Amino acid sequence: MGGYDPTWKPGARPERALDITVFEMFKIGPGPSSSHTIAPMKAGNDFLELMRNLPEADLRQADTLQVRLYGSLSDTGIGHGTHKAVTAGLQGVTPESATVEIMDGLYVRQDDTVTIHCGPLSLPFGMGNFIFEKGEAAGAPCSDVLRISLAAGGRTLAEREYYSVGGGFLQWKGWKAPERGEPAHAFDSMNGLLECMKATGKSMPVILMENETALTGMHPDDVRQGLLRFVNAMTASVENGLARSGQLKGPYKVERRANGMFKAAEGMGGADAFLARLSAYAHAAAEENSDGHPIVTAPTAGSAGVMPAVVYALEHERNLKGEQLVNGMLVASFVGMLAKRHASIAGADVGCQGEIGVASSMAAALAAHVLDGSAELVENAAELALEHHLGMTCDPVGGYVQIPCISRCAMGAVKAWNARVMARSGQGTWHPVGLDLTIRAMNATGRDMDPRYRETAKGGLALFYTGTC
């Protein structure tokens, strides 16, 4: 049995029912960080559209396009590829259309420039157009802020302040949540979902699919196809990573390890061989993410090796396909939605527990659902995986999503698999801590965490590792 949240009342209708969709939790786009690449690329897309709506006379006079970065976007912007993402977005590249060739072709040399076109406007754009501000933007609702402005002779023609709020989600000053339908079932907790299952007699995936279709207006078949697209993209990130070797981009000369780990597993036996393969799958996707190649946010790009590793193992080691994995993806996305609603999935907010920890929890829920099926077991597996990431800091060396991020994805995948095994072997016994309480604990822990350990590259390994030891 799962733990119980004493503040939650059976049958209680939440103030605001969970209304996040699976297509917000999962996104296909370039790494290495959803907060630092996918959301900033969306900001570039949005500002390009803003410019398209300006009078042609203004566009002809425009002479300055400027991007100001604040918070961890400034602290780790180069290592995280924020400059590339914004530039690509201003060129009309969307996260899903951002190919390896496009992203690898930007800023090969520090002084490279591109040309931003918009109607009669044609402006050179490069690193000189970025200002990396110290500290946070005054009055902003979050720490990761971009301000993009277009001016002519010192006169501002257009300006917008954007907020990267984690997991590739983007808001801006004056932003309003998109209109959508009401969920078919009103709850915003794991306990609420379990109560709904008892009241309706419906399974977890059925309830979650009914909410998804009610929110989005999509046909269930279209939702399934979308989820299969995410599964296929996860598989591709693993296979692409397994096929590559050599050094990752950046100053630390980090070697890709996935290919070698996978080959080394052939000489191992039993559980060691499986753990080596699972770790290789996670390394493969995380290494692709580190090089800015397409991945799936699950829930973030920094954690994009965890769920793909478990999904790949389920596909290739347990021969699970199609509908089974789609249902598992629904269950996993729900765990991520709870974390986003009641805590955060951004390392800049709550440390790496919100990225690797939540990814591990999502993967544990997915594996428990497709392999075992019990709702209580799903809840317990998700809770165990998250509980044992509590307090994990986010300290990327040099701002690059390499050390310790890549290996953390492998550890998160292994913990996810073990959480499912522990939940199954302990089935029928009382587990005093539930997922809802653990998410709240994660939130409180993250908010208490020193900012040096929240994706600023100013503490932990980022401070002590120099690349020479």
pLDDT (tens digit per residue) in 380-422: 999 999 999 999 999 999 889 999 999 999 999 999 999 999 9
What six digits make up the tokens of 426? Answer: 């302990």
Q: Which of 466, 465, 368, 461 is nearest to 422 (CA)?
A: 368
Q: Indicate the DSSP class of residue 251.
A: T
The residue-averaged pLDDT of 231-246 equals 97
Rounded to whole angstroms, the Cα distance separating 21 from 181 reads 11
367 close to 328: Cβ distance less than 8 angstroms:
yes
DSSP 402: -
pLDDT band at 6 (very low <50, low <70, confident <90, very high): very low
Query: What are the pLDDT digits (tens) for 269-293?
Result: 899 999 999 999 999 999 999 999 9
Q: Please, which pLDDT band fits residue 80 given cuts at 50, 70 and 90?
A: confident
Residues 327 and 205: their CA atoms lie apart, in Å, by 6
CA–CA gap between residue 77 and residue 446 (Å, rounded)? 22
What is the percent of the chain where pLDDT is above 90? 81
Q: CB–CB of 334/240 below 8 Å?
A: no
The average confidence (pLDDT) of the chain is 93
The domain locations on the chain are 33-172, 182-464
pLDDT for 10 equals: 45
Q: Smallest Cα–Cα separation from 49: which of 137, 172, 143?
A: 172
Question: Residue type at 469?
Answer: C
**Domain 33-172 carries which CATH code?**
3.30.1330.90
Q: Check pLDDT > 90 for residue 469.
A: no
pTM here is 0.89
Taking the C-alpha atoms of residue 308 and residue 305, their distance in angstroms, rounded to an integer, is 6
Q: Which residues are registered as beta bridge partners of 65?
A: 150
Which run of H or of E encompasses 42?
helix 39-52
